[in-house]
Amino acid sequence: MAYHYTKALELPSYYWALSAWHGVRMDISFAGYLLVLPTLLMAFTFKRFNWYKSFIHSYSLLTTFIIALLVCVDLELFRAWGFRIDATSLHYLQSPREAWASMSSAPVGFILSIGLFLFGISYWLLTRIAARTLPQLRPLSPIISLLFFIIAAAAWIIPIRGGLQLAPMNQSTVYFSEESFANYAAVNVPWNYSSSLIHQTYNKDNPFRYLPDSTARQKTRALYDDQVPQLTLVDSGRINVIVLIWESFTAKIVGTLGGLPGITPQFDQLAQEGILFTNIYASGDRSDKGMVSILSGYPAQPTRSIIKIPTKTLHLPSLPKNFKQQGYSTAFYYGGETEFANMKSYFLQQKFDNIVDIHAFNKSDMNSKWGAHDHVVLNRFLSDLDHAPQPFFNTLFTLSSHEPFEVPVPTVIAGTSQEKLFLNALHYTDRSIGDFVAAAKTKPWWKNTLLVIIADHGHPMPATEAGKPSQFHIPMLWLGGALKNTGLRINTLASQTDLASTLLHQLGKSSHDFEWSNDIFDSHRQNFAYFAFNNGFGWVRPQGYLIHDNIGGNIIGKEGNINPAELENGKAYLQTSFGDYLSR
């Protein structure tokens, strides 16, 4: 903050303290990593410990030098890159001459002076501490040493993962503000660099390169159309928007879509009152992928998840950011930990004014693992909407239909198998949403509101025939007083990513920034759906589908009259979308 004082002065002064306070957990986490090796080696000092003194001095020298180097280099690279140093810097090792040339305008002498000072003062302090403590070591019996080894090794897990919460340490743990610089200041540099190395965010090699890049891009862009459809099903004006994201809401359990009857009676009834989209596919197989697909219209990656890398999500378009720019208030509600899968950093970047999560609810309203039950969060959401500045764009994410499927109501779907518990949890969430909609209809803001209910992803249960895309088939329903037409069924084949463009066009807004989103009502659109799973992808067209295994390079599922050219289209889409991910 001192080095980039001009940016620091743009923040309220109390943000300086907040950045330090929120960053402490990541500092402690990395300190835990550093202390693992010395702690474990201490278990072998029961006979002799003079060697351990030498090790501590060498270890302190090496780690202090590396950390001081990272910190001082980060100071200037942040000015050029706009984010904290990560393993992307390894690319410069391939061209050291260009790297040195790029540093010509940097105050190299001043930076090196800072690095030497940090290294000198830190190493001096460590050696002073070692000089006072290491002489106190005494030989221990092998049994006590082994016991110490076990206890110490287990104890470091807690600070390393950042505490006892469900989500382990990630950038979201220290992000706390819409101000990017305040969040970046809270990040621990060596932790960030190590995390980047582990997750290989520096790697720009596309493993899904099937065609020349220009050919793949041409085939992919041919699937999109920029025309704005004339069909308008939503009232004009500044309409309130609610996006309700339903955990694991697979079409396989929706009776009105041909799924199991009796699991979602409330949704089946509401489908008669709104606009039901019957042929929508999730872009990915996890919540973190679905969140970005829904809010940013961005396709999922097979082996990565863009939401876990804040430097990549920072420049993604998003619905909350778009509505915020147009004067809407924005909020995100979730009964669990928003730090999970690094979601909170993404929500802050996308300009949600208010984030309500597990910390806003009483422990008595929690299940044993994830957080507050769905009806509790929906009731809080309903109450807050009465006081929300209008127009608003608010999002709510349910959680009760996630494993372990714990619900605070009597069992309706009998049975103790995982599938029965899953169905029972979905039935509970269905009732909670039905109660929410019934209450919302009595509110004055309902007549000017559009409610979108959509799943974050599908689910393997109930079990279906392997090699079919039904696991990714999800419902989407539009409700609210802002609808001009009700009782409609839209059977167009589309993707979860298409919500962004469709919604914005219905409200008379531009979707130019959402290049991976295709308006469902565009009569000129190419009807397709792409979905990614762990190292594989599915490609769905009106005439059929295919599912490709990226590891074996073979088709593991196929149905309908789908020609070989469609496999090339699917590969081109994967190559281009993953290339876009790598380039961000």
Residues annotated in a binding site for Mn(2+)? 247, 456-457
Nearest CA-CA partner of 356 in 338, 368, 373: 338
**How distant, in Å, are the alpha carbons of 14, 255, 375, 427 from that of 411?**
49, 20, 16, 10
Q: Report phi then psi at 91, rounded to 5.
A: -60, -30
Q: Does the active-site annotation cover 517? A: no
- Residue carrying the six token digits 């061209």: 95
Give the whole-angstrom CA distance, residue 360 versus residue 381. Answer: 11
- Residue carrying the six token digits 């989407």: 476
Q: Helices (H), strands (E): how many in the chain?
A: 20, 13
Q: Are 494 and 277 in contact (CB under 8 A)?
A: yes
3-state secondary structure of 308: helix
- Residue carrying the six token digits 């201490």: 42
Give the whole-angstrom CA distance, residue 402 versus residue 421. Answer: 10
Neighbours of 124 (CB within 10 A): 11
Binding-site residues for substrate, please?
A: 402
Which of the following is catalytic: 19, 29, 287, 517? Answer: 287
Q: What are 178's two structure tokens?
A: 């819409």
Look up residue 389 and give its DSSP letter: P
Q: Are 553 and 209 in contact (CB under 8 A)?
A: no
Please list, in sequence order, all residues whose beta carbon lies within 8 angstroms of the beta carbon of residue 253, skipping any fewer than 6 positions away: 259, 260, 263, 264, 423, 426, 462
Positions annotated as catalytic residues are 287
